[in-house]
């Protein structure tokens, strides 16, 4: 067994359990022992969209697939802007789903982009950072003043780069596949225009920022520039962007409809290269479960989103087989770096835990083999290799 746990990481109460379990299996030689996974962006659908999933269903799914710590954006219903309610939400996530929930508070009131939210109250309530969750600001001055206000509380800001005026009614990457299918395209500059502006705002205000779910080559280049310049920034990519492209939309495959959209092969290779050379710090799931009717409408009328908890580790193992990452580098991207970015490293180490992964375990993705309430994945029916076979939590 390859032990990929950081030195002295496992909680003392777990040492015996991990060792005895690992030694009792006859075929543990090729397995990996990892620290718990940390997800920087997942939508668990509660509160407000329980028809797609709940803290119980998605929390238990996350836990069974190795995620013990999950970061959720504030665009729930109601919006996560009341600091006094965050403690109860975290307690329910732990009680019902068995996971430690880490909340991004709303950066602006109601996420409407017009005035700052009660950032002080959110900080007292235990939010780890603030975000406008991809929603637009009414103008650039409001963005600047809001970031300046958040900076006074020393709170990190999570950005999801997206320029709404360039997205318009788009539903797919602006390329051959969208054109061939008659779908409204979303140009890559919809992301990079927003990212450029946000990076300049970071430089002006000095605020620490994380950029989530980059999807195109130019975004990787911009992040490389920002890091070389010494800006206090980090970034992540969604796991599915490293394995799927807009080619997967062929035949109006709504299961591959996600926002930001799947981009070109060139973009995907740039994302993989950015991950390998360290420009991209982490991989998130961008888990968005949907019920069985959400993908039944015509493509442009479907809801965007992919259910990713169940396939996450298999896709991570594929990155190792493809030579993009080593097993230890994979641990950095899905465990250690996300904990640092979320600002929970101390809590992460104190809680401890371990995940046993069999990178050679072959399984088929079916509605029965998925534990998420959402079965909306383009990998449905495919055979994947790599799986969490046991967790040692609590």
- CATH at 152: 3.20.20.140
pLDDT score at 9: 76
Report the pLDDT averaged over residues 276-282.
97
Find, among 393, 385, 357, the residue nearest to 22 by Cα. 357
Q: Does some domain include residue 133?
A: yes
pLDDT score at 188: 97
Q: What percent of the chain has pLDDT over 90?
A: 93
Instruction: Tally the domains of the chain.
Output: 1
Report the pLDDT averaged over residues 185-202.
97
pLDDT score at 27: 64
Q: Does some domain include residue 330?
A: yes
Q: Does some domain include residue 370?
A: no
Each residue's pLDDT tens digit, 310-335:
999 999 999 999 999 999 999 999 99
pLDDT score at 20: 39
pLDDT score at 299: 96
pLDDT score at 344: 97
The model's pTM is: 0.95
Q: Does some domain include residue 3?
A: no
Q: Does some domain include residue 387?
A: no
Q: Does some domain include residue 73?
A: yes
Each residue's pLDDT tens digit, 12-36:
555 555 543 444 445 677 999 999 9
Each residue's pLDDT tens digit, 256-274:
999 999 999 999 999 999 9
Report the pLDDT averaged over residues 194-221.
98
Band (pLDDT 50/70/90 cuts) for residue 8 is: confident
Domain hosting residue 178, numbered range:
39-341
Taking a C-beta distance cutoff of 8 angstroms, is the pair 241, 324 a contact? no
Q: Does some domain include residue 169?
A: yes
pLDDT for 301 beyond 80: yes
Report the pLDDT averaged over residues 350-362.
96
- Rounded CA gap, 369 and 145, in Å? 48
pLDDT for 363 beyond 60: yes
Q: Does some domain include residue 381?
A: no
């Amino acid at each position: 067994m390859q032990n990929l746990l950081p030195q002295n990481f496992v909680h003392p109460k777990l040492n015996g359990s991990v060792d005895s379990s690992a030694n009792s299996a006859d075929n543990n030689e090729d397995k990996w022992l990892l620290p718990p996974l940390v997800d920087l962006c997942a939508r668990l659908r509660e509160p407000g969209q329980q028809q797609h999933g709940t803290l119980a269903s998605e929390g238990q799914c996350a836990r069974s697939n190795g995620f013990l710590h999950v970061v959720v954006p504030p665009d729930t219903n109601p919006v996560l802007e009341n600091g006094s309610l965050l403690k109860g939400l975290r307690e329910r996530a732990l009680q019902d789903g068995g996971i430690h929930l880490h909340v991004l508070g709303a950066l602006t009131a109601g996420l409407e982009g017009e005035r700052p939210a009660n950032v002080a109250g959110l900080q007292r309530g235990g939010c780890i950072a603030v975000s406008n969750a991809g929603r637009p600001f009414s103008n650039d001055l409001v963005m600047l003043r809001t970031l300046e206000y958040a900076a006074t509380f020393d709170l990190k800001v999570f950005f999801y780069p997206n320029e709404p005026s360039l997205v318009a009614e788009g539903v797919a990457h602006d390329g051959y596949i969208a054109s061939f299918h008659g779908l409204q395209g979303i140009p890559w500059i919809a992301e990079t225009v927003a990212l450029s502006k946000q990076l300049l705002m970071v430089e002006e205000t000095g605020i620490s920022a994380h950029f989530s779910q980059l999807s195109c080559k130019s975004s990787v280049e911009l992040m490389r520039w920002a890091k070389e310049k010494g800006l206090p920034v980090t970034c992540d990519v969604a796991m599915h962007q490293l394995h799927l492209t807009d080619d997967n939309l062929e035949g109006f495959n709504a299961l591959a409809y996600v926002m930001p959209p799947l981009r070109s092969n060139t973009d995907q290779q740039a994302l993989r290269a950015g991950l390998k050379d360290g420009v991209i710090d982490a991989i998130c799931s961008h888990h968005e479960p949907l019920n069985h009717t959400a993908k039944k409408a015509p493509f442009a009328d479907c809801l965007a989103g992919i259910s990713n908890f169940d396939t996450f580790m298999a896709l991570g193992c594929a990155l190792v087989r493809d030579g993009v990452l080593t097993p230890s580098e994979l641990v950095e991207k899905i465990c250690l770096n996300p904990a640092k970015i979320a600002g929970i490293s101390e809590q992460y180490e104190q809680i401890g835990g371990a995940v046993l992964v069999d990178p050679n375990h072959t399984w088929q993705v079916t509605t029965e083999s998925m534990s998420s309430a959402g079965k909306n994945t383009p990998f449905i029916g495919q055979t994947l290799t790599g799986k969490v076979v046991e967790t040692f939590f609590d």
